Amino acid sequence: MNQPSHKAKIQINKWCIQRDGENCLYCGKPGCKVLDHLNDNRNDNRLENFVRAHYHCNIAKIHNIDYQVMAQDKLRQNEQWPFIPTEDNTSEEASTEIKIAKTNFEIQEQYILEKTLTDGFITWHDALYGATYKCKKLTGYGSVQCTRNNLYTLTSPEAPFMKTKDKNKKPIIVRRNQN
Ligand SMILES: [Zn+2]
């Protein structure tokens, strides 16, 4: 479940065209061929996290602050107004795969939220294995690697949680901006 299958990529590409048009997000020009992960997390395979881009624009983003800001804004926009794909000629298998990636992310976020609301924090270790267990139980899919990458997303500066350490120097997750 970590990398989308070839079939899933073809489907994601079609949906990105339906949502954004054909052109590259970054330079606005046609002829782009790659799918870019907006938050650079290659295991975050939610549809919201993909855009079409040129290979060279995708590489340029590594050092181009404007492109990085465009990516952050686009991801926020996609999350705020989720794209509803038209269901015609959708590969069942590919769309299921993408839905599971999205559902698993939501399960993980909910799990971290519940734990941090109840206990004030959750250890990174418990978050990793607890959330993976929840995903396996609820969707039938879940891998530690995938959860780990989503935990990095959930504790990124834009996200509602942050990674820190307790008094024994163990990594924990707490809610950001808690009073
Ligand atoms: Zn481009």
Which residues, in sequence order, are bridge partners of residue 53? 34
| Ligand 1 centroid distance, CA of 19 (Å) | 17
Q: In what order do the strands lie in the sheet with 171-175?
A: 122-123, 171-175, 161-165
| Ligand 1 centroid distance, CA of 120 (Å) | 44
pLDDT digits (tens, 9 = 90+) for 98-134: 889 999 999 999 999 999 999 999 999 999 999 999 9
| Ligand 1 centroid distance, CA of 111 (Å) | 38
Distance CA 27, CA 42 (A): 21
Res 179: pLDDT: 45
The CATH architecture that domain 92-175 belongs to is: Orthogonal Bundle (1.10)
| Ligand 1 centroid distance, CA of 53 (Å) | 5
pLDDT digits (tens, 9 = 90+) for 21-46: 999 999 999 999 999 999 999 889 99
| Ligand 1 centroid distance, CA of 173 (Å) | 37
Tell me which amino acid residue 124 is. Answer: W
Tokens of 135: 């995903």
Q: Where along the chain do the CATH 1.10.10 domains lie?
A: 92-175
| Ligand 1 centroid distance, CA of 49 (Å) | 17
| Ligand 1 centroid distance, CA of 114 (Å) | 41
| Ligand 1 centroid distance, CA of 166 (Å) | 44
| Ligand 1 centroid distance, CA of 57 (Å) | 5
| Ligand 1 centroid distance, CA of 10 (Å) | 19
| Ligand 1 centroid distance, CA of 24 (Å) | 5
Nearest Cα neighbor of 163 from 116, 131, 104, 119 is 116
CB atoms within 10 A of CB 153: 21
Flag whether pLDDT at 163 surpasses 50: yes
Residue 88: pLDDT band (50, 70, 90) is low
3-state secondary structure of 104: helix
